[in-house]
Amino acid sequence: MTAAVEAVDVRRSYQLDGLAVEALRGVSLRIDPGEHVAVIGPSGSGKSTLMHLLGCLDRPTSGTLLVGGRDVSTMTDAELAELRNRTIGFVFQSFQLLGRTSALDNVGLPLVYRGNRKAERRQRAAAALEAVGLGHRLGHLPGQLSGGEQQRVAIARALVTEPSVLLADEPTGNLDTRSGAEVMRLLARLNADRGVAVVVVTHDPEVAAMTRRRIGVRDGLVEYDRPEVAG
């Protein structure tokens, strides 16, 4: 089976004021289609950098990164953009919805870059919103929705392209406990029902506990990688 995402000895360093800072110092991991994973680590551990790499928003300084079996290092920016559009769905801590745009059109946004027509975009966006339980909020603007609802709109937007991997960066970070738990349950359900691999990046062990596999990251290295204890 081809891995959904696979990293082999991936390193990423930044130049900060002339100093090279290594955010990732040789990470290898493999995420298969349909997996439900948490990447857990304290701030500064390199987990955000890892998420950006897995999401093709960035390229590794060295090492091999395969997304859907394709080597990211050989791809152009435009090819990466298309890869993101087709295979990755993003969910951000701060939702990142366009404020003056309805829930329906927010969800349809990724399809704009696929060249889909408006009617098709709206139809698919409506179906995605239905799937996250917001079928009654299509015309609402983000400001008219609660935090939990906004994050569900963002999840619908990540799903609308039918990606193979859904990357969620601290998806519960801006939510109260109840909404956060709801969002995590939704992600788990989508993972189970649709077979989309879900990768949740978090610093919160309680959130991580709601996934089936946990990858601990610390100081730019994978500290541990363990499946849920059976039973």
Partner 1 sequence: MRAGEAFRVALDALRANRLRSALTMLGVVIGVAAVVILVALGSGAKQEVEDQVEGLGSNIIIVVPGKFEFGSAPSVSRLTLDDVDLLGRVVGDRDRVAVSVASGETVNVGRRESFVTVNGVNESVPNVFNRPLARGDYITATDVDTRRRVVVLGSSVVRRLFRDVDPLGRQLSIAGVRFRVIGVFAKVGSTFGVDRDAEVHIPVTAAQRLFGVDRIDALAVKAPTADSVAALQPKLVAALADRYEGEEFSAVTQTQILGTIGRILGLLTLVLSAIAAISLLVGGVGVSNIMLVSVRERTREIGLRKALGARQRDILLQFLIEAVLLCVVGGLLGIGVGVGSSYLVAALSPLPAVIAWWSPVVAFGVSAAVGIFFGVAPARRAGRLDPVVALRSE
Q: Shortest distance, CB of residue 209 to partner 1, whole angstroms?
A: 27
188 in contact with partner 1 (CB under 8 A) = no
Q: Which of 143, 4, 7, 13 is nearest to 63 (CA)?
A: 7
For partner 1 (CB under 8 A), the number of binding residues is: 25
- Which helix (H) or strand (E) segment holds residue 178: the answer is helix 177-194
Contact region for partner 1 (CB under 8 A) — 25-33, 64-72, 81-89, 205-213?
81-89
98 in contact with partner 1 (CB under 8 A) = yes
CB-CB contact of 67 with 83 (8 Å): yes
**Binding residue (CB under 8 A) for partner 1 from 16, 19, 78, 229:** 78
Contact region for partner 1 (CB under 8 A) — 52-60, 129-137, 185-193, 213-221?
52-60
CB-CB contact of 199 with 171 (8 Å): no
Sheet of 36-40, strand order: 88-91, 165-169, 197-202, 36-40, 213-218, 221-227
Rounded CA-CA distance 35/57 in Å is 21
Contact region for partner 1 (CB under 8 A) — 2-10, 75-83, 201-209, 211-219?
75-83
Q: Which residues are near partner 1 by CB under 8 A?
A: 52, 55, 57-58, 77-78, 81-82, 84-86, 90, 92, 96, 98, 100, 109-110, 112-115, 117, 157, 161
